[in-house]
Amino acid sequence: MHKEQLLDNLIDGIIEGHPVEGDQPLAEVAARLARLSELRPRPEAKDDARRLMLAAAARKSRKRSRTWLGRKLTAVLASGMALTLATSGTVYAASNSLPGDLLYPVKEATENVELIFTPSGQARAEAQVRLARIRLAEIKALMRRKDKRRIGLLVSALNRRLALARAEGGLTPGEVRRIKAAADSLRTSTKRWLPPGLKRRLLKDKPPAPRLIRKSLPLTIDKSATQTPSGVAPDQQKPLGTPPAEGVAPNIKPAQPILAPKPRLLKPARHIIRSILRRRLRQKQAD
Amino acid sequence: MGDDELKAIVEMAKKRDLGALSTLYETYFDRIYRYILVRVRNVADAEDLAGQVFLKMIERIETFKWPQTGGGFSAWLFKVAHNLIVDWARGAKKITTLPDQDLPGGLNPEAAVGRDESVREILAAMTCLKDEQRQILLLRLVGGLSSRETADVLGISEGNVRVLQYRALAKIKESLQVTANA
């Protein structure tokens, strides 16, 4: 073993209190130096230092728990207050906003939330009417700005609210008259600059038609149908377009059920259909 | 105290358990005090510094982590003591060598061990050592640290500790022989 390692092992033994064995002069020097481990502190000094240490530890634990709890409480309260203030302040600021403003979505969201908590029936119908009036007021405000695009959106929203109010059964004839009168006055005042389509849509009795392309529904004769109660055979039936005789149920069945409202075809589609019909008519006439 | 037992006590002390803190105090106070006393050569300062070591321990024990290799808690505490002594010496403008005569303000270590001539001679011989060699001998023989813990306190390797302590003891022996012959 290396001499340094050997001496190190001997010193470990000296620290543990084992005597030095054999002729180990360096270990003997180390053993003499190790007698300094007999030094002891004064008991009063040791007790004072212990007391100070424990007091510092107790103080730190109290401070730590209070700070932790205080921080948590403060964070919760502050965030709650901030949320409340922000919400109420935002909602208040949004109440006067118009489409295109930053807070308008907040206004719409608030209205939707209000409707969710309104019980269905008369109360909700009244809420819908109130919202329709708000839309009308917004239209008036936007007209001062001459914002055509957003007025169009508002008109759709207004019609939607009226339709919902009607569906809830809460739109009285008086309400309808009043809202129509307001719309009429708007129409006359904006005669010059509102596009014609928008003016027509303004408070029509039905919501704007969805922009769908739907083919016209051909009527087909159900050849597999049984004989009519009158006993007339299917091949002896009168041609299409002839009103059925009284008491005879027409055995004309549409291919698909007719849905209401009737979809309004786009111009290109109507044009195509008209041209097809004209061509067939010409063919028939030629035949 | 075994390593596992010490680890458990230190973990409890981190949570400010007063019983665990008292146990650590009882285990280490005397050793820390002796080490500081031999280095600063003044009982009052040594008592004050020893108390400060444990106040620092209270402040910093939460950040203590058992190292994968190295000295562990003993080395960490003695490192705190070592740093406090360095700051004290810098502030008091005192040198850490061991003068022969008594200093005003308290007993010196030789007086505390009953004026033991052998200890006195060795302490006198240690003045010729380098600072690092002296610290190794004090940490090993007065503080009771192992080679690994001493290496951790001083930031050197364990092999280096063994070599330095061998050379230090050899030098002290040579100095004592010269004194004896003289």
Tens of pLDDT, residue by residue over B46-96, are 999 999 999 999 989 888 888 766 668 899 999 999 999 989 888 766 544
Higher pLDDT, A201 or A236: A201
Q: Does B12 lie at the interface with A, CB-CB under 8 angstroms? A: no
Measure CB to CB from residue B109 to each of A36, A49, A58 and give the nearest one.
Answer: A36
A19 confidence band (pLDDT: 50, 70, 90)? confident
Residues near A33 by beta carbon (within 8 Å), at least 6 away in sequence: B119, B122, B137, B141, B142, B172
Residue of B nearest to A33 (CA): B119
* Residue to substitute from A47, A53, A62, interface B, most B β-carbons within 10 A: A53
Q: What is the pLDDT of residues A83-123, one digit of tens each?
A: 777 677 777 777 778 887 877 887 888 888 788 777 777 77
Average pLDDT over residues A18-28: 81
* Cβ-defined contact of A29 to B58 (cutoff 8 Å): no
- Asked whether the ipTM of the predicted complex exceeds the cut of 0.85, the reply is no
Higher pLDDT, B106 or A147: A147
List, as one string, the DSSP characters of B25-43. Answer: HHHHHHHHHHHHHHHH--H
- In sequence order, the β-bridge partners of residue A220 are A253
Supply φ then ψ for residue B92, to 5 degrees. Answer: -85, -5
**How far from B180 is each of A122, B42, B125, B176, B177, CA to CA, in Å?**
117, 28, 12, 6, 5
Q: What is the pLDDT of residues A53-66, one digit of tens each?
A: 988 888 877 766 66
Q: What percent of chain A has pLDDT over 90?
A: 3
Residue linked to tokens 């030094």: A39
Q: What is the pLDDT of residues A114-145, one digit of tens each?
A: 887 777 777 777 788 788 788 888 887 887 77
Rg (CA), chain B: 17
Residues near B47 by beta carbon (within 8 Å), at least 6 away in sequence: A41, A42, A45, A49, B33
Supply φ then ψ for residue A254, to 5 degrees. Answer: -70, 150
* Cβ-defined contact of A11 to B165 (cutoff 8 Å): yes
Residue B12 CB neighbour total at 10 angstroms: 16
Average pLDDT over residues B100-105: 40
- Averaged pLDDT of chain B: 82
Please state, in angstroms and rounded to a whole number, the distance separating the CA atoms of residues A159 and A165.
Answer: 10
Q: Residue B25 pLDDT > 90, yes or no? A: yes
Locate B113 and state its tokens.
Answer: 């061990």
- Measured between beta carbons, the chain A residues lying within 8 angstroms of B109 are 36, 39
- Measured between beta carbons, the chain B residues lying within 8 angstroms of A18 are none
Shortest distance between the Cα of A105 and any Cα of chain B, in A, equals 50
Locate B94 and state its tokens.
Answer: 């005192």
Q: Which of A184-193, B76-85, B123-132 has the highest mean pLDDT?
A: B76-85
A201 confidence band (pLDDT: 50, 70, 90)? low
Q: How many residues does chain B have?
A: 182
Three-state DSSP state, A252: strand
Q: Does B56 lie at the interface with A, CB-CB under 8 angstroms? A: no
* pLDDT computed for residue A176 by the predictor: 66
- In sequence order, the β-bridge partners of residue A13 are none
Q: What percent of chain B has pLDDT over 90?
A: 37
* Cβ-defined contact of B162 to A30 (cutoff 8 Å): no
Please state, in angstroms and rounded to a whole number, the distance separating the CA atoms of residues B108 and B12.
Answer: 37
Q: Residue B99 pLDDT > 60, yes or no? A: no
* Residue to substitute from B37, B52, B58, interface A, most A β-carbons within 10 A: B58
Q: Which of A19-23, A216-220, A262-266 has the highest mean pLDDT?
A: A19-23
A80 confidence band (pLDDT: 50, 70, 90)? confident
Amino acid at B39: R
Q: How many residues does chain A have?
A: 287
Q: What percent of chain B has pLDDT over 70?
A: 82
Q: What is the pLDDT of residues A231-248, one digit of tens each?
A: 445 555 555 555 555 555
* pLDDT computed for residue A227 by the predictor: 44
Residue of B nearest to A34 (CA): B141
